[in-house]
């Protein structure tokens, strides 16, 4: 199951990097969707995705694959 979760996170980060401005024209909508996605996949550990909201310009957060990092951090032993 974890490989599927990792694939979803990689895909989401890819879309956030490439066409995130077109998908989420409302400010911080991408962060809300990403936080909900990671929280649903990984529980409270996924709420760390909210750290992307610390970038008020929404320019740098696309370059941080935070959903993928959260997925790797939550890899089962």
- The tokens describing 45, both together, are 């550990």
Task: Kindly list the domain boundaries of the chain, sorted by start residue.
Answer: 2-73
The pLDDT, as a whole number, for residue 75 is 93
Supply the angle between the helices 2-18 and 29-42 in degrees, to the nearest 10: 170
List pLDDT tens digits, range 18-68.
Answer: 887 777 777 788 888 889 999 999 999 898 888 888 887 777 777 889 999
Number of CB atoms found within 10 A of residue 49's CB: 25
Cα–Cα distance for residue pair 70/76, rounded to 1 Å = 12
Residue 16: its pLDDT value, please?
86
């Amino acid at each position: 199951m974890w490989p599927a979760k990792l694939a979803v996170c990689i895909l989401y980060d890819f879309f956030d990097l490439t066409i995130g401005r077109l998908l989420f024209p409302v400010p911080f909508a991408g962060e809300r969707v990403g936080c909900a996605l990671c929280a649903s996949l990984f529980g409270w550990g996924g709420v760390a995705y909210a750290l992307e909201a610390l970038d008020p310009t929404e320019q740098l957060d696309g370059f941080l694959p935070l959903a993928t990092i959260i997925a790797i951090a939550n890899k089962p032993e």
